[in-house]
Structure 1
Amino acid sequence: MNLGLTDKVVLITGAAGHAGSIGETMLQALADEGAIPAIIDRNARGFGYVENLKDRGIDAHFAQTDVTDPVQIEKSVNEIIDKYGRIDVVINNVGVNDGAGLDASYEEFMQSLKLNLVSYFLVVKHALPKLIESKGNILNIGSKVALTGQGGTSGYAAAKGGVLALTREWANDLIKHEIRVNALIIAESWTPAYDNWIKTLPNPEETLAGIRKTIPYQGRMTRPEEISDSALFLISERSGHTTGQYVFVDGGYVHLDRALLGQQEEAQSISEA
C-alpha cells in the first residue's frame, strides 16, 4: 500500500536495536515506503543500518545520541534539521523495561524517567518548530504496563503512564497547528530482546508457553511487523483524522475478557482433533 510517506523526513528514536526489534523493523518499513528515516539512538549499530540503506539508494541519517542527555538530544535534532531543513514526523520509540522498582535508588528511578519519558518530551520540544511548519504528526510508542502494571518496574510504569498523558496533552495543545498526536500500545511482542530475556529464566519454554496463553487472540505474541504496519498507518495521511488516540496492537491482551482464554484452549483442542 502506498501510504504517501515518500520523501517524508521521519525522526525515529530507538531504531538502532538488533535486527528484528520493533525500532529496526519500523526503520526498514519506513525505507520501503520511500520515507527518509532520521535515527536517534545511542547504539553505534545505527551507522551500519544507514550505510545499508544508502547502498539501496535510500537517503537516511543517524545521529548517535544518549537520550538521557538533554544536550545531546538538542544537538541531534538540530543536526537533522540542518541536513534536511524539515521534520515531517516524530516517532518516539525508546523504551527499556529496566526493572527500577520500589527497591531502586532515587537515581535509578530518575534515570528510568529520563530514558522512557523525558526523552519523548525533549525530542518533540526541539522538533516542534519544524513539525509546525510541515503540519506533521507525532507517534508515541507506549506499553500495556502503563495500564495494567507489572510489578517490580515503577520507573518504566510511571514513564509509560506519562507517555500516554503527554499524548493526550499534546493532541490538545497542538490541534491549533493541525498536528496529530497518537500513541500505539503494545503488550507481548516477540523481539530479540524478549528472546534474550526469556532465556535467562529457569524454565524458558514453559514460561513462554504460559505467556502466550494469556494473549486472547490466537494465543501468540504480536509480531514486530504488525506493530510497524500499524505505526506507519497512523503517521500517514490514511489516518488523517485520527488524533489523541491510544491504538492497541496487542492481540486483545489489555481489553478482552479473560474467559476467552479457556475458549481459546478448547478451540485449539478441536482443531488438533
Structure 2
Amino acid sequence: MNLNLTNKVILISGGAKGIGGAISRGLIEEGAIPVMIDPSEKEGAAILTLGESFQIPIRLFEAIDSEKAVKLTLEKYGRIDGLVNNAGANDSVGLENGSPEAFEKSVAKNLNHYYHLAHYALPHLKLSKGSIINISSKTAVTGQGGTSGYTAAKGAQLSLTREWAVELLPYQITVNAIIPAEVYTPLYENWIKTFPNPEQRLAEITAKIPLGKRMTTPEEIAAMAIFLLSDKAAHITGQHLFVDGGYTHLDRAL
C-alpha cells in the first residue's frame, strides 16, 4: 500500500527512542521526513543514518521550546505535514505519595507541550491539511494507582483529541489518539527493574495480555501512527485507537 508520505515533514516529540523512535524509523522507510524533538542525541544519531531526518535536541519545558522547534523545522524544510505528540513519562506522582506541587508539575510536564506544539504548528498544518496524533495511555481509562499526575495528563490528551478534531474540521486536519497499554520501551524497562524480581513481574504482566500473551511492540504502535498520518486515513478523526493486544477491553482471564 502506497501511503503517499514521500517528503512529508512530521514533527515527533520524543522521537529518538521508544515508541517515538519506532515512528521515526517507520516514517523514513515510507519516504517521509521525521523531525525528532528529543534530547537523546545518541539514539537520534542512529536514526539520522537511516535516511533524511532531523533532530532538535531539546526538552519541551516551556511554550518557547515548542515555538523554537517549529521555527527550526520551518527554517530547514519550509513545511509541516503532521505532528505526533508523544513525549512524556509515568513519574508516579500519586494522591498519597505526592503533593499539590508535584501533581501540578507532573501534569504540566506530560500535557502542556502537546498543546504548545499543536498551537505553533497549526498555521502550517492548515496549509498542508495535515494530521495530529496524540499518544496517550490505557492508564487514562483504566487507572493504575499511584500516578495521578500522569493519568490526569493522559486523560486530558484524550479529551483534547476530540476537542481539536471538532475545532479543526474546517481545515480538514485530522486529529486522533493512539492508546498503548503494555509496550516494552526503555522507560518501561526502567520501571520493571524497580521490582525485587523484574523477570517474574514481567512474566505476570505478559500473561494477562489476551492476544498472544506478549507485549505490544513499539513498531506496532508506529504502524498505526504512520497509517493515521497518511492520505489513506483522511476520513478518520476524533478517534481513540487502542493498540494493545486486547489488554484494555478483553477479559484477561482468557
> Deviation at 1:47?
5.1
| Distance of 2:11 and 2:204 partners within structure 1 | 37
Q: Is the 8 A contact 2:132 2:174 kept in 1?
A: yes
| Distance of 1:86 and 1:51 partners within structure 2 | 19
* Runs of 4+ displaced beyond 6 Å: none
Q: Which amino acid aligns with 1:132?
A: K
> Deviation at 1:162?
0.3
Q: Which amino acid aligns with 2:71?
A: N
Q: Is the 8 A contact 1:65 1:73 kept in 2?
A: no
CA offsets per residue over residues 83-109 of structure 1, 9 Å max, x none? 211100000111200111123233322
| Distance of 2:90 and 2:33 partners within structure 1 | 29
Question: Residue 242 of structure 2 aligns to a residue in which SS?
Answer: strand
> Deviation at 1:133?
0.6
Q: Is the 8 A contact 2:25 2:47 kept in 1?
A: no
Question: Residue 143 of structure 1 aligns to a residue in which SS?
Answer: coil
Question: Residue 243 of structure 1 aligns to a residue in which SS?
Answer: coil
Q: Is the 8 A contact 2:82 2:131 kept in 1?
A: yes
| Distance of 1:252 and 1:51 partners within structure 2 | 34
- State the percentage of identical aligned residues: 51
CA offsets per residue over residues 218-266 of structure 1, 9 Å max, x none? 1111111111111111111111210000110001111112342xxxxxx
Equivalent residue for 1:95? 88
| Distance of 2:10 and 2:66 partners within structure 1 | 16
- The equivalent position to 2:55 in structure 1, one of 55, 62, 70, is 62
CA gap 1:49/1:180 in 2 versus in 1, 3 angstroms:
same
Moved more, 238-247 or 187-196: 187-196
Structure 2 segments unaligned to the other structure (5+ residues): none
- The equivalent position to 2:127 in structure 1, one of 119, 130, 133, is 133
Structure 1 segments unaligned to the other structure (5+ residues): 261-273
CA offsets per residue over residues 147-206 of structure 1, 9 Å max, x none? 000001000000000000000000000001100000010000122332232123111121
- The equivalent position to 2:242 in structure 1, one of 237, 248, 254, is 248
CA gap 1:49/1:126 in 2 versus in 1, 3 angstroms:
farther
| TM, length-normalised to structure 1 | 0.88
| Distance of 2:216 and 2:166 partners within structure 1 | 30
Question: Residue 115 of structure 2 aligns to a residue in which SS?
Answer: helix
| TM, length-normalised to structure 2 | 0.95
| RMSD value, Cα | 1.5
> Deviation at 1:51?
4.0
CA offsets per residue over residues 45-69 of structure 1, 9 Å max, x none? 365245423xxxx322211222122
CA offsets per residue over residues 102-124 of structure 1, 9 Å max, x none? 23233322222222111100000
- The equivalent position to 1:40 in structure 2, one of 37, 40, 58, is 37
Rg comparison, structure with higher value: 1
